Amino acid sequence: MFDVKRRSFITLLGGAAVWPFAARAQQPSMPVIGFLNSAVAQAFTSRVAAYRRGLGEAGFVEDKNVAIEYRWANGQYDRLQSMAADFVSRRVAVITAGGPPAAIAAKMATSVIPIVFTTGDDPVRAGLVPNLNRPGGNVTGVHLFLSNLSAKKLGLLRDLLPQATVIAGLFNSVSQSAEIQEKELQAAGNASGLRIEIAHASNDQEIESAFATFSKRQISAVMVGSDPYYISRREKIIALAARYAIPAFYELRDFVDDGGLMSYGTDIEDGYRQAGVYAGRILKGEKPGDLPVLQSTKFQFVINLKTVKALGLSISDNLLTLADEVIE
H or E segment to which residue 326 belongs = strand 325-327
Output 16-21 pairs: Cβ under 8 A, ≥24 positions apart: 16/52, 16/62, 16/63, 17/63, 18/68, 18/69, 18/70, 19/63, 19/67, 21/67, 21/69, 21/90
99 and 183 housed in the same domain: no
27 and 75 housed in the same domain: yes
pTM over 0.85: no
Beta strand segments in 99-194, E: 115-119, 139-143, 166-171
> How would residue 15 be classed by pLDDT, with cut points 50, 70 and 90?
very low
pLDDT above 90 for 177: no
190 and 244 housed in the same domain: yes
Is 67 in contact with 24 (CB distance < 8 Å)?
yes
How far is CA 296 from its chain centroid?
13
181 and 304 housed in the same domain: yes
Bridge partners (DSSP) listed for residue 222: 168, 248
Instruction: Give CA–CA dist 236/241, Å, rounded.
Output: 9
Q: 3-state DSSP call for residue 68? A: strand
pLDDT tens-digit readout, 194-230 = 999 999 999 999 999 999 999 999 999 999 998 888 9
105 and 250 housed in the same domain: no
The pLDDT of residue 95: 98
DSSP symbols for 252-280: SHHHHHTT-SEEEEE-HHHHHHHHHHHHH
Parent domain of 252: 150-265+300-327
How far is CA 75 from its chain centroid?
11
pLDDT above 70 for 9: no
Is 262 in contact with 256 (CB distance < 8 Å)?
yes
Best CA proximity match to 39, nearest among 165, 244, 227: 227
The pLDDT of residue 148: 67
Q: Over range 81-96, report the average pLDDT.
A: 97
* Domain total in the chain: 2
Instruction: Give CA–CA dist 137/287, Å, rounded.
Output: 9
187 and 132 housed in the same domain: no
Is 100 in contact with 141 (CB distance < 8 Å)?
no
The pLDDT of residue 120: 84
Best CA proximity match to 228, nearest among 103, 141, 98, 42: 98
Is 151 in contact with 138 (CB distance < 8 Å)?
no
23 and 102 housed in the same domain: yes
The pLDDT of residue 91: 96
Among residues of the chain, what percentage have pLDDT more than 70? Answer: 91
The pLDDT of residue 285: 97
> How would residue 147 be classed by pLDDT, with cut points 50, 70 and 90?
low
216 and 121 housed in the same domain: no
211 and 321 housed in the same domain: yes
Higher pLDDT, 253 or 25: 253
27 and 156 housed in the same domain: no
176 and 316 housed in the same domain: yes
> How would residue 25 be classed by pLDDT, with cut points 50, 70 and 90?
very low
The pLDDT of residue 234: 92
Is 87 in contact with 69 (CB distance < 8 Å)?
yes
Beta-carbon-side half-sphere exposure of residue 133 (alpha carbons within 13 Å): 0
Higher pLDDT, 287 or 27: 287
Mean pLDDT (the chain) is 89
pLDDT above 50 for 265: yes
Instruction: Give me the CATH number covering residue 230.
Output: 3.40.50.2300
182 and 313 housed in the same domain: yes
